[in-house]
Structure 1
């Protein structure tokens, strides 16, 4: 539905795929894939596309047949859960304001919701991920590079807190929030960094596992 509606709204606005992609700071191929139903935009991009095309988010995602920009999927300001509705094939995951540190620790997991990211239901289900147990936060520091570069967005599955050898986790320890890889040695568990410049350290006895990192994304520029 999003693809067909996006194409209709774009043509009505007199824009080419290249022009819309430029306005959205996206590649033309991405717009083509979304219009063809092969990919999805994040909620933030859908909202921006609706603004550029002078239509409503509800129209683009198939909740309304009226293309007039009357309502939005997300209320103005910081959205809350009651303003976000799941769509066929899509689930939304909260984006929290505070980052987790791959290096020196951040303080605590932010309670403020900055927005939402869209994930395909099929992708989540195939990996056994419950989106209601997930949160998206940013990575600070370089200790998990090149796997998780600084500034990466990560999907943290708070339903998966049991340590798995080789798994990457967000932890709350004496240094605040950290992102580390769990490695099991004969001597016990170790908090390891993927960046060889950062030495591994014994697993902190009081470290609380917030959740397992299941996905990441980053800007290429």
Structure 2
């Protein structure tokens, strides 16, 4: 099975880019591209999606060799950094606030128990961006991800936006779930017989979890992840 480094190099040659040309598109040095292609290091977070965009492929294909989509669109809309605002900051005409629950974390590893929610600062989103995603701001919330099972896409401490109205499973999309009292974020897939497969990006440490219909009684889908931001 090919590695991310091999797929990245192969794809670069297919679209006829030099390492320097690719580095300019991604916004990193040529040395970094060389290290990625040699397998010395791997792109993480925002850089993974910038690389996929520059190579005109999906992050899933780079990571796993899967190619469910032709564009490097993620399960969530990448929005880079964000600002925290308080209630005294005036909203712009195209802005809306979504609550950021500072004390609630979604487990991306073994999970943590759900804690009491205390509304903290709010994150501002463009109404037009939410409209493109089909997200109602009144049914959305932002929370932190804890653990390393979703690396390199979602490192520990990432923030995700969750659309609590979107609970119908679409294979391969990322969802926040309550798993027997634990808050987790995983890619979900439906299985025959009413089961579900939970997938992490960090498959080396966290292999797929397969739940049958009876085990699914312990799982509640909170909502689909529509946005995320990481500090890398």
After TM superposition, is the score higher than 0.5?
A: yes
Structure with more contact order per residue of length (Cα contacts < 8 Å, sep ≥ 6): 2
Q: What is the SS of the residue equivalent to 2:112?
A: coil
- Structure 1 length normalisation: TM-score? 0.60
- Asked if 1 retains the 8 angstrom alpha-carbon contact of 2:161 and 2:226, the reply is yes
Cα RMSD for the two superposed structures:
2.4
The answer as to 2:213 corresponding to 1:207 is no
Q: Distance in 1 between matches of 2:132 and 2:168?
A: 19
Aligned pair partner of 1:74 in 87, 111, 114: 87
Query: SS at 1:117's partner residue?
Result: strand
Q: CA deviation at 1:170?
A: 0.9
Unaligned runs of 5+ in 2: 1-78
Deviation at residue 143 of structure 1 after TM alignment: 0.7
TM-score using structure 2 length? 0.57
- Aligned length, in residue pairs: 147
1:193 has 2:200 as partner: yes
Q: In 2, Cα distance between the equivalents of 1:147 and 1:41?
A: 15
Q: Report if the CA contact (8 A) 1:95-1:117 is conserved.
A: yes
Asked if 1:219 is matched to 2:231, the reply is: yes
3-state DSSP of counterpart to 1:199: coil
* Alpha-carbon distance in structure 1 between the residues aligned to 2:166 and 2:210: 21
CA distance in 2, matches of 1:142, 1:173: 17
Alpha-carbon distance between aligned partners in 1 of 2:225 and 2:125, rounded to the nearest angstrom: 15
1 CA distance for matches of 2:121 and 2:155?
Answer: 22
- Shift >3 Å, 4+ stretches: 39-43, 84-87, 185-188
Tell me how far apart the structure 2 counterparts of residues 103 and 40 of structure 1 sit (CA, whole Å): 23
Change over 3 Å in CA distance of 1:137–1:41 after alignment to 2: closer
The residue that corresponds to 1:7 in the other structure is none
Higher gyration radius (CA):
1
Paired residues of 2:80 and 2:230 also in contact (CA < 8 A): no
SS of equivalent to 1:124: helix
Give the structure 1 partner of residue 145 of structure 2.
Answer: 139
